[in-house]
A and B are shown apart, each in its own frame.
Chain A
């Protein structure tokens, strides 16, 4: 079965909105976006199978998979290659590097999922997906996007940090400062009224000024 989608909307996805639904052939059979409901999903694209940077990325994501699984996060790859190519490539990675790829890979030969998620950057390539990554929450809402060019492999530790930050935001109702990592103090959302601003100064947080407070979580 070729990849099919539930919508012909080809605009770029938007943060805070439902991720575009899809049904696609993968190395784990036919999967729909809704199959991941209840879990976080990292949907990521790579330019092509049997290419060196993508191979390093796949091994890095495979290494990260157990940490993500502990956080309730599933991985799903995608490129404009066939299922047969994906199968051959993941077997090749296991044979040559000893790394088993545990996540499914979408075979998006007709580019429909790639188009829905804005994964093709014609200025870079019209036939390959760029290195795009989408963090989708358990309710199916698109929470974060990362776009990297063909030439630059991604930092999977940043992906883990992103998931930790998003999950901390959901759990504690806070925001996370630059370079935050688990264990660091978090940002208390700034007050929205003068009354709350006055109260904030006495709230017991680590406060520099009424709009800048941190606390431990």
Chain B
């Protein structure tokens, strides 16, 4: 490298520092704090200089690196290797993962906390798989997926608390309600272009949330619905002392009472629900409607000219995706026994979209990896609550910049016309 280059990149770094100073100076350096009625300012210049210094250093190193032209190739080599491995052995990976998931509750190190995290990850995997039908297969960016999750949760909660029906009746009903809402929203908006559709679905998600907050008579407003019945093991409740005429789970199987029974049951419940979603997706991809989705994602105009009705095809994807969102919602409601509009904010939609996009749109394995990665990481940094969302958003930007197709990009058509020719 020549001396001229170094001086050049040094100047560039200083310019970066100047911009960083302008960025961090007012917002980080001058912190507003309340005192009585008004506000006053506390300064934290040390932090600003630290940040600016980091920016200068980072920029300088990137400049030196890009002079040697290794910056991006290193990164892409790493990820391509990674995707090559998992793409080849996807089947083995899937079987191992399912086996591991099946024995997970009985592993020696598994405790209550691990189970809770695992249930959460599985919920997101299920939501991710549900949304993958809409985003990954049909190529429709839905930023309001949480609306269907909310519809599922609330319809489960309302049906279960009003009529007292069992989980296994309410679950399909909640799914149907969510699918119905999917059709209701989808019918008018699905002819819109990709980015418009994204904004409209976002608006729909917000409308549902505002209605949930304000429709006090039905949804109990911001206070939410409490006392949602817990699921029972095919009629056997998980209670220490069951009501009269009832047998509870631990009595029936002659076990010592433990709260873990219910947790383990919930774990298997969501595992089975998620696997059903996955199985359904894998099967439907090979049917005509699934192929139409993939074709539509690749080229809408070509599809139209071949006689595929884009609105109906998209509508099926939307309704099926919504249905799985509704199932996941009812699971959420029964697990928490309490729901309020606060659980269904836009950020939830963003997390689910991020899981699908990060995993590589259309890749089922990618969704699993991305859920474990995102939820696992955010769980690990639980104490740094505020910073984890910055890291989360930053990861979305970085992945789009360096690997726009996600960790496991899978846009290969599911079925080829002449066998497996590549």
Q: Do A and B bind each other?
A: no
Report B's interface with A, CB cutoff 8 A.
Answer: none
